[in-house]
Amino acid sequence: MNKTPMLLAALVLGSFAVAGVSLVVVTHAAMDQRILENARLAMQRKLAAIVPEGRYDNDPLTDRILVSDPTLLGTHETQVYRVRQGDQPVALILNPVVPNGYAGPIELLVSVLHDGTIGGVRVLSHHETPGLGDQIEEAKSDWVLSFDGKSLGQPPAESWAVKRDGGVFDQFTGATITPRSIVVAVKNTLAYVQAQGARLYTAPALATPSGRGDS
């Protein structure tokens, strides 16, 4: 019995199988790279929104460190992106977590300018109630913009609270826990930056670039 046709058929099928697997691997790798690049671009836009335009010439996504202060920053590892103009420090952008939101943790970006004032605050992720706690999103209300220009001394420490607690920040109708928690988290972020000082700008940068939350 001539086995040649069977061997040829097996070789052809094997070649198709190898080609198919190779195509899947290449396509998957390309998709992964595209997803990572999209995440990087999205993160760049978020960072740019909370740092004065034209004030920096570095890439904060590659000039970053990881720090740990669960008490003030709400998580065991926190990203810190350094923003610079030449050799001059411009801002630090931290990625703290609010552990006690009404419906779970809330992930933030907080920009602290070199003079100790807030450049901007943005919410990266949350699980707050639609129509109530989700007003922390910039797309839903301008509440989060109320932090712009604030510092540990302005307002005074005792006024870093929602108005219901005697502070200067608005709360939401039917949802006080969420804004109260974020006010505390932003204040704690300022306190962390003040306590750490220049070390946050001089610590060696991590070797790999970041999109969001990876290490």
Average of per-residue pLDDT across 46-50: 85
Q: Distance between CA atoms of 74 and 165, rounded to whole angstroms?
A: 22
Give the list of residues 6+ apart from residue 79 with CB closer than 8 angstroms, or none.
64, 65, 66, 94, 95, 210, 213
pLDDT in tens, 138-166: 888 899 999 999 999 999 989 999 999 99
Of 32-46, 162-176, 188-202, highest mean pLDDT: 188-202
User: Mean pLDDT for the chain?
Assistant: 84
Q: Distance between CA atoms of 104 and 19, rounded to whole angstroms?
A: 46
Average of per-residue pLDDT across 126-139: 78
Instruction: Give the tokens for residue 5.
Output: 């046709």
215 pLDDT above the threshold of 60: no
pLDDT in tens, 9-47: 666 666 666 666 666 665 555 555 666 666 667 777 888
Cβ atoms 119, 158 nearer than 8 A: no
Query: How many degrees, rounded to 5, is the angle at CA 33 between CA 29 and CA 35?
Result: 115
SS3 label, residue 145: helix
